Amino acid sequence: MRDGDWVAATGAELRGVLKVMVDAEWLPGGVAVVGSGTMWEFVPVGRVGTECGEAVTAPDVRYDVASLTKIMATWILVGRAVGEGLLDLDAPMARYHPGGPYPGGAVTTRQILTHTSRLNPVTWLERYVGTEQPLAEAILSEELEEPGYRYIDRGFILLGLLLERLYGRPLDRLAGEAWREAGMTATTYGPLPRTASVAPTERRIPGAAATWGVVHDESAALMGGVAGHAGVFSTATDLGVFARELLSRHMGEHGANPFTSFVRQSWTPHEVVHEHYSRGLAWLVTDDGLVYHNGFTGTSLYLHPRSGRYVGLLTNAVHYGRRRPGLFDLRATVRAAFSA
């Protein structure tokens, strides 16, 4: 199928699925960006959220991307630090966090990116509230789990703190510089004003206001809204710009450089997760060459390096609760499109 036909057909498929989800009141709305090469199409369906009246969603509405923060902020900054010689993927954390010794001191950045770090898989940070121990030290001080693959937020929290230590600047400023260089003008950490240009997420307590303009993830909220695993807000337009930038890097359009090498290494299988897909460096990699990452709030980014095609999804699927009905089918529709 030609690229233009694929973009149009995939957009129509996603529009149909999103409409079913909106009509069933499974989510207020969502917007997808479907692209290949220099062409893209935006698929906005439904409203921004119940707090925003009849305001319809659009490519410039900011959504809480949740765990897409891991790739949109932390992963790209790790790649930069590796390229600049500030960070070695296989060096133990003890090299960068003096003191201890800590059980987590032997953990490497590569293990964190592949979710094989053996750090505590329970993100819960409330236990550290009111203590005097720095968060990085607290994470490293806990006993390691048994070897194996476990999806762990704490590793990316630790990397966010490490990047701040390496560069001597806050994570949101470091990420902001990287986004501006890539042409992503709307992507940012919160807080953001409660307007119809920002999608609210979950109403956690009946009768209270929804989480809106501030990070949905509780642990990131405890960290002031800026963390290595969650906290970023973005638009469908910026998600498309991000996808294009990464695909062009993978194809070598920027010439040979350390970050291009890092992208290619990241999209190579490192740790088998399932019979049909593996974990690369941060990203999931399927047997047929699709690379992707999901976010809990109802977001996803899918890239197919061989064809140069991509799909980004931004929804606030948690708006009516954490069950998020229909989200699995929506994501399955995207995956199936790359087999067309």
pLDDT, residue 158, reads 98
* pLDDT tens figures, 124-153: 899 999 999 999 999 999 999 999 999 999
CA-CA distance, 5 to 56, in Å (whole number)?
A: 27
The answer to whether the beta carbons of residues 119 and 155 sit under 8 Å apart is: yes
Element (H, E) at 29: strand 29-36
pLDDT, residue 66, reads 98
CA-CA distance, 153 to 45, in Å (whole number)?
A: 31
Give the burial string for 226-258 (b: 16+ CB within 10 Å, else e). Answer: bbbbbbbbbbbbbbbbbbbbbbebbeeeeeeee
Q: Is 265 exposed, middle or buried (0-12, 13-18, 19+ CB in 10 A)?
A: middle
pLDDT, residue 252, reads 81
pLDDT band at 99 (very low <50, low <70, confident <90, very high): confident
pLDDT, residue 1, reads 87
pLDDT band at 100 (very low <50, low <70, confident <90, very high): confident
Q: Long-range contact list for 191-198, CB < 8 A, 24+ apart?
A: 191/225, 192/62, 192/233, 194/51, 195/52, 196/48, 196/52, 196/53, 196/55, 196/61, 197/48, 197/60, 197/61, 197/62, 198/48, 198/61, 198/62, 198/233
| Per-residue DSSP letter, 206 | T
pLDDT, residue 257, reads 87
**Average pLDDT score over the chain:** 96
> Among residues 110, 227, 214, 103, which one has the least CA distance to residue 164?
227
CA-CA distance, 53 to 250, in Å (whole number)?
A: 42
| Strand duo 271-274 + 291-295: pairing | unpaired
CA-CA distance, 215 to 236, in Å (whole number)?
A: 18
* pLDDT tens figures, 185-227: 999 999 999 999 999 999 999 899 999 999 999 999 999 999 9
pTM: 0.97
* pLDDT tens figures, 239-273: 999 999 999 999 887 777 899 999 999 999 999 99
> Among residues 164, 189, 152, 222, which one has the least CA distance to residue 72?
189
Please state which CATH number belongs to domain 3-65+198-212+233-337. Answer: 3.40.710.10
CA-CA distance, 300 to 333, in Å (whole number)?
A: 12
Q: Which two tokens stand for residue 33?
A: 């960006």
